[in-house]
């Protein structure tokens, strides 16, 4: 996905309509569900997320996420990952 600045602004308004500065997992899931579905893009996203699921249980734990971010690609420091979480 390569959204424009306008699309990003629209998504931000949808996921955080009251401008609280944060959003819940449920709000994010609703945003993802509402986007047009492109089967190839969706499959790419699923495959990308599987990288984080080291025990293949269909869930990404905080520990799995941290490990992946600290060991793959451009390695991040733990405090950077905490900011994302």
In tens, the pLDDT along 48-71 reads: 788 888 888 888 888 888 888 888
Query: Mean pLDDT, consecutive 10-residue segments, the chain of 85 residues?
Result: 81 85 81 73 79 83 85 83 83
Domain range list for the chain = 1-35, 39-85
Return the structure tokens found at 55.
């025990």
C-alpha closest to that of 52 among 22, 21, 83, 85 = 85
- Which residues, in sequence order, are CB contacts of 69 under 8 Å at separation 6+? 75, 76, 80, 81, 84
Predicted pLDDT of residue 37: 67
Q: Are 67 and 60 in contact (CB under 8 A)?
A: no
Predicted pLDDT of residue 79: 87
């Amino acid at each position: 996905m390569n959204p424009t600045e306008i699309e990003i602004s629209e998504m931000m308004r949808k996921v955080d309509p009251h401008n609280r500065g944060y959003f819940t997992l449920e709000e994010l899931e609703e945003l993802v569900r509402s986007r047009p579905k492109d089967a190839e893009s969706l499959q790419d996203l699923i495959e990308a997320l599987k990288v984080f699921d080291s025990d293949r249980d269909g869930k990404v734990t905080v520990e799995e996420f941290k490990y992946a971010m600290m060991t793959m690609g451009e390695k991040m420091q733990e405090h950077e990952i905490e900011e994302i979480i």
